């Protein structure tokens, strides 16, 4: 009896020990399982509101207002060059001289022929006067009078032809001195003295040099169709814009080695057709160039301001993400859940990007910690001002 009782007690202790061991194992396993991480901490801020002037940028190339190829109007041997390669010449400056002796001889001959024709005219007039007196007394026939009238008219016509020949010879002699037709910078001479120069109005004339005007200078660039239509709508509100056709926008320019748009000019021309192959339209602006630094052919960037400054929403440029071709920002809703919002971007103002579509002024934008966030995930938002204060306190401590 006692032995049975002791056996039952031992069995009970054994079962109890097993239960205690099992509970201990479950408790230890529960303690070793990792707890889920807390929501990532991010910095949020509302979009900034500022008056922003809309700027559009384009790449283009400088062109000269006047570009002239210097070619001779008469043929002959080049006698002298009167400029240094690359110098600035003024309108009317002597550039080249063609040997004038042949043209001087032709002019002398033309003047002599004119003098002979004038003598013939004087003789014809005297004969006509005598015939008119004699016809009154029927001394000569009417036919002879008519012949002398005709001789006078022929002599007058010959005089006109000889005068024209003299004027042509004078022009040819004048054309032996080639002068600058415009003010600008001349290139290098293409022909050395002693060479035969082909002149005239045909296609085989000799190119002697080129001249490109300097001040002012033009800048040509192209607009896409969407921008062109947008500019027309902006300008159409101005009655002085000729129904939107006169896009007289203020523009600024910078060279490829400059960081700021400091050169101011005026947009003064837009083409009358859109290029069907590229979907663009050619436009032109004009800039002062007193120092001559802006050279035809240089590339540069131009900045257009098509309308007056308007209030816009801006976010830090670093807060903008990219999904294929779309741009987005991560916003935080009332439940502290991150959600993307797709937006359209405007100009970059310092380190802030203008948002033209997709945001409201009350949206909370994630400005810091964007890489730790996934769409639809919980976050721990901290206002930008509070985040800055906490960073300042950490720095001080």
In tens digits, the chain (397 residues) has pLDDT values of: 444 544 554 444 454 555 444 545 555 554 556 677 788 888 889 898 888 877 788 999 999 999 999 999 999 999 999 999 999 999 999 999 999 998 889 888 888 887 887 777 777 777 767 666 666 656 666 666 667 777 777 778 888 888 898 898 999 999 999 999 999 999 999 999 999 999 887 778 999 999 999 999 999 999 998 888 888 887 765 545 554 456 777 789 999 888 888 899 988 888 889 999 999 999 999 999 998 889 999 999 998 877 777 788 999 988 888 888 889 998 988 888 888 989 988 877 888 888 888 888 888 998 888 888 888 888 888 887 644 433 333 333 3
The segment(s) of the chain belonging to CATH 2.40.30.170 are: 56-64+217-305
pLDDT in tens, 164-215: 988 989 999 999 999 999 999 999 999 999 999 998 877 789 999 999 999 9
Distance CA 43, CA 48 (A): 15
| Predicted TM-score of the model (pTM) | 0.64
CATH class of residue range 56-64+217-305: mainly beta
The segment(s) of the chain belonging to CATH 2.40.50.100 are: 67-212
CB neighbour class for 306 (10 Å; exposed up to 12, middle 13-18, buried from 19): buried
Q: How many CB atoms lie within 10 A of CB 161?
A: 12
CB neighbour class for 68 (10 Å; exposed up to 12, middle 13-18, buried from 19): middle
Q: Is the peptide bond before 378 cis (omega within 30 degrees of 0)?
A: no
Distance CA 385, CA 395 (A): 15
Report the length, in residues, of the chain: 397
For residue 209, give the H/E element and its range.
Answer: strand 207-212
∠353-356-358 over CA atoms, to 5°? 105
The segment(s) of the chain belonging to CATH 2.40.420.20 are: 42-52+310-396
pLDDT in tens, 45-80: 989 888 887 778 899 999 999 999 999 999 999 999
Q: What is the pLDDT of residue 292?
A: 87
CA 90 to chain centre: 28
Q: What topology does CATH give the domain 67-212?
A: OB fold (Dihydrolipoamide Acetyltransferase, E2P) (2.40.50)
Q: What topology does CATH give the domain 42-52+310-396?
A: 2.40.420
């Amino acid at each position: 009896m006692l032995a049975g009782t002791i056996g039952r007690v031992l069995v009970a202790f054994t079962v109890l020990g097993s239960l205690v061991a099992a509970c201990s194992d479950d408790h230890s396993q529960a303690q070793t399982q990792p707890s889920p991480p807390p929501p990532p901490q991010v910095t949020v801020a509302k979009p900034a509101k500022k008056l922003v002037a809309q700027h559009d940028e384009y790449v283009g190339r400088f062109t000269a207002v006047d570009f002239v190829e210097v070619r001779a109007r008469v043929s002959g041997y080049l006698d002298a060059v009167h400029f240094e390669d690359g110098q600035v010449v003024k309108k009317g400056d002597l550039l080249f001289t063609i040997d004038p002796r042949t043209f001087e001889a032709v002019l002398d001959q033309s003047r002599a022929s004119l003098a002979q024709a004038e003598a013939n005219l004087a003789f014809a007039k005297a004969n006509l006067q005598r015939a008119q007196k004699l016809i009154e007394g029927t001394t000569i026939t009417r036919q002879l009078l008519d012949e002398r009238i005709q001789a006078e008219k022929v002599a007058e016509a010959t005089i006109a032809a000889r005068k024209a020949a003299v004027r042509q010879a004078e022009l040819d002699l004048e054309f032996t001195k080639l002068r600058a037709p415009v003010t600008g910078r001349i290139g290098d001479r293409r022909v050395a003295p002693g060479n035969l120069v082909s002149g005239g109005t045909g296609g085989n004339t000799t190119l002697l040099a080129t001249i490109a005007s300097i001040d002012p200078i033009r800048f040509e660039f192209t607009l896409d169709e969407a921008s062109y239509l947008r500019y027309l709508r902006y300008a159409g509100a101005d009655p002085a814009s000729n129904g939107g056709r006169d896009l007289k926008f203020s523009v600024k320019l910078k060279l490829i080695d400059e960081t700021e748009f400091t050169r101011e000019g005026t947009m003064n021309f837009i083409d009358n057709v859109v290029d069907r192959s590229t979907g663009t339209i050619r436009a032109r602006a004009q800039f002062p160039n007193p120092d001559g630094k802006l050279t035809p052919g240089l590339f540069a960037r131009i900045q257009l301001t098509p309308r007056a400054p308007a209030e816009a929403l801006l976010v830090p440029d670093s807060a903008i993400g990219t999904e294929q071709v779309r741009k987005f920002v991560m916003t935080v809703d009332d439940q502290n859940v991150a959600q993307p919002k797709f937006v359209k971007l405007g100009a970059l103002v310092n380190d802030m990007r203008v948002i033209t579509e997709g945001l409201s002024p009350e949206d909370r934008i994630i400005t810091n910690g964007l890489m730790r966030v996934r769409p639809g995930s919980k976050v721990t938002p901290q206002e930008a001002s509070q985040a800055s204060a906490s960073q300042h306190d950490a720095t001080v401590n």
